[in-house]
Chain A
């Protein structure tokens, strides 16, 4: 039997094209669905902080009028808030890394950074009002950067997590994105003379630029 090439050979190309487009469309559709769901989770996780933000604002008013007898309770409450925000923040940032920072996500992130800045300001206020001192370690990092920057930030972030684990309730650790276009953050960084990201502001007194070991940071704590 003489083997003949089928006359409809071009049909295979068209069929394959349709199948390929179908696979790509399904892939895009499922992927978009998964990514949207994850973005939704991040956004709703940020939104959960809205009540916390209002709570913090009221606490701020209260700290301004309270007497020193309430200090211990106020400081303890401030720690609980800070730890809660820190823990939740770690989870959110992990999910956030999987997606591009969309406009919607950026807006929510800004709200979150404002909330942490408010917590920082509350801590400053509490330290001024109450005699019992505690440490604030503000980790200002860059939202963008190359691999070298990421390596430095990951290392510093790891060191600060280790510090927090070691010091527990003796420090309030506040990671804040330093370059996402928030005036209050820019103002604070200007006040403390932060010109390099990442940096650590310890007790509003000392600015450590770049990576430092646990021992080096600890030396500046009270």
Chain B
């Protein structure tokens, strides 16, 4: 049993260290290119579609913000009201009446998902490129122009942006700020090997003919932005990320909302993995089938195994004390004779190597945002307090899967 566990831990450490190191190695080799983006040589026309459902408080600001976009060929801002029950429609109409390039369209009935509203809005776009943003996202005015140049490469079908957090007041918001920065950094690092496997919802631009060719967004998938990217990659297209194109988004303030959001992300990720399972290790020009799929699948497996091993560790260490509670009433003091003794073992050393690498990984990721980065205690809190919260939506996602509580068999 012990020998088996040592092997399980060792395999986990192997993959954990390998993936962390891969990001560090790729970053080290390309760090001077992090904020680079291709200049605009051809002015592609662009439409931006914003799905809106009951966002009367945010949608006006979102449109106003997009109107400040510097890119001259932004022809249309198509705002799709997905049959909101609040005052969203009237707010959008005010802008549509006032600005020529703001188009208000309304779905015949509520589509029930962002993908539905986005697809509906996409029908009205007649430009070379079609971008999508969320009703609560705020791209910086130069974000679009920092993404356009990538489309000079014929194979590039989508370009995504760097999402950052707008609200950073409480614990959840502050740590999501770190989370988003680390995610954005790691995504950009993946860009160096052509493995951008998510084109995010807050701001991504697609080549319209490629987007149409792959059948637009999958409305049965809970994370249409992941699915459409995999769809493009599996057909040999390339997807890119512009680290310099910043977009701000509002993140959940409360744990419950955060859990629901992450469950959606996880389930959507698993749906996508399942849908594209046959492309695993099939021959392709990009690393999608050779690396991305195994990386995403292993991330889920490692997180799940890690959680169960952690539970086992807690059970063995703390369980002894919990089970000793009845004896405490009979005079046993569990702390009277126990001396603190933490033996250094092979697994402990590997664990420390993993932790040190993990701290370094987060440090360089956060430092890439220009500031001094975050202190060691913030990173440790992020690793030991915030990240373990990931297991709640992870377990909930697998529970949903077990119950088949999702639109599982898509296509």
Residues of A within 8 A of B (CB): 1-3, 5-6, 9, 12-13, 15-17, 19-20, 23-24, 26-28, 30-32, 34-35, 38, 94-95, 97-100, 147-148, 150-152, 154-155, 157-159, 161-162, 211-215
The segment from B99-107, B316-324, B368-376, B393-401 found at the interface with A is B316-324
Contact between B14 and A24 (Cβ–Cβ < 8 Å)? Answer: yes
Minimum CB–CB distance for B243 against chain A, Å: 11
Minimum CB–CB distance for B124 against chain A, Å: 31
Residues of chain B within 8 A (CB-CB) of A215 are 331
Known: A9-B193, A16-B25, A23-B17. A154 touches B345 (CB 8 A): no
Contact between A3 and B346 (Cβ–Cβ < 8 Å)? Answer: no
In the assembled complex, the Cα of A121 lies from the Cα of B21 at a distance in Å of 60
Contact between A1 and B25 (Cβ–Cβ < 8 Å)? Answer: no
Closest 9 pairs between A and B when the two form their complex, measured CB to CB: A31-B346, A98-B343, A155-B327, A151-B323, A9-B193, A155-B332, A213-B330, A16-B22, A20-B18
In the assembled complex, the Cα of A1 lies from the Cα of B357 at a distance in Å of 33
Would you call B409 an interface residue if the criterion is a C-beta within 8 Å of the partner chain's C-beta atoms?
no
Residues of chain A within 8 A (CB-CB) of B353 are 23, 26-27
**A-B CB pair tally, cutoff 8 Å:** 130
In the assembled complex, the Cα of A32 lies from the Cα of B149 at a distance in Å of 53
Given contacts A12-B22, A15-B25, A159-B327, 19 further A-B contacts (CB under 8 A): A2-B38, A6-B193, A13-B291, A20-B18, A20-B21, A23-B353, A31-B345, A31-B347, A35-B345, A94-B341, A95-B343, A147-B316, A147-B319, A147-B320, A152-B327, A154-B334, A155-B332, A158-B333, A162-B336
Residues of chain A within 8 A (CB-CB) of B350 are 24, 27-28, 31
Contact between B327 and A211 (Cβ–Cβ < 8 Å)? Answer: yes
Task: Name the one of B39, B287, B320 contacting A150, with C-beta atoms under 8 angstroms.
Answer: B320
Q: Is the interface of A mostly helix, strand, loop or mixed?
A: helix
In the assembled complex, the Cα of A210 lies from the Cα of B342 at a distance in Å of 28
Residues of chain A within 8 A (CB-CB) of B37 are 3
Residues of chain B within 8 A (CB-CB) of A9 are 192-194, 287
Minimum CB–CB distance for A220 against chain B, Å: 16
Would you call B26 an interface residue if the criterion is a C-beta within 8 Å of the partner chain's C-beta atoms?
yes
Contact between B25 and A147 (Cβ–Cβ < 8 Å)? Answer: no
Residues of chain A within 8 A (CB-CB) of B331 are 159, 162, 213-215
Would you call B377 an interface residue if the criterion is a C-beta within 8 Å of the partner chain's C-beta atoms?
no
User: Of A23, A38, A150, which is in contact with the most chain B CB atoms at under 10 Å from its CB?
Assistant: A23
In the assembled complex, the Cα of A158 lies from the Cα of B320 at a distance in Å of 13
In the assembled complex, the Cα of A152 lies from the Cα of B291 at a distance in Å of 49
Task: Name the one of A2, A28, A211, A214 contacting B149, with C-beta atoms under 8 angstroms.
Answer: A2
Contact between A20 and B193 (Cβ–Cβ < 8 Å)? Answer: no
Contact between B319 and A30 (Cβ–Cβ < 8 Å)? Answer: no
Task: Name the one of B2, B13, B332 contacting A159, with C-beta atoms under 8 angstroms.
Answer: B332
Contact between A158 and B332 (Cβ–Cβ < 8 Å)? Answer: yes
Task: Name the one of B18, B26, B324, B343 contacting A151, with C-beta atoms under 8 angstroms.
Answer: B324
Contact between B343 and A12 (Cβ–Cβ < 8 Å)? Answer: no
Contact between B344 and A3 (Cβ–Cβ < 8 Å)? Answer: no
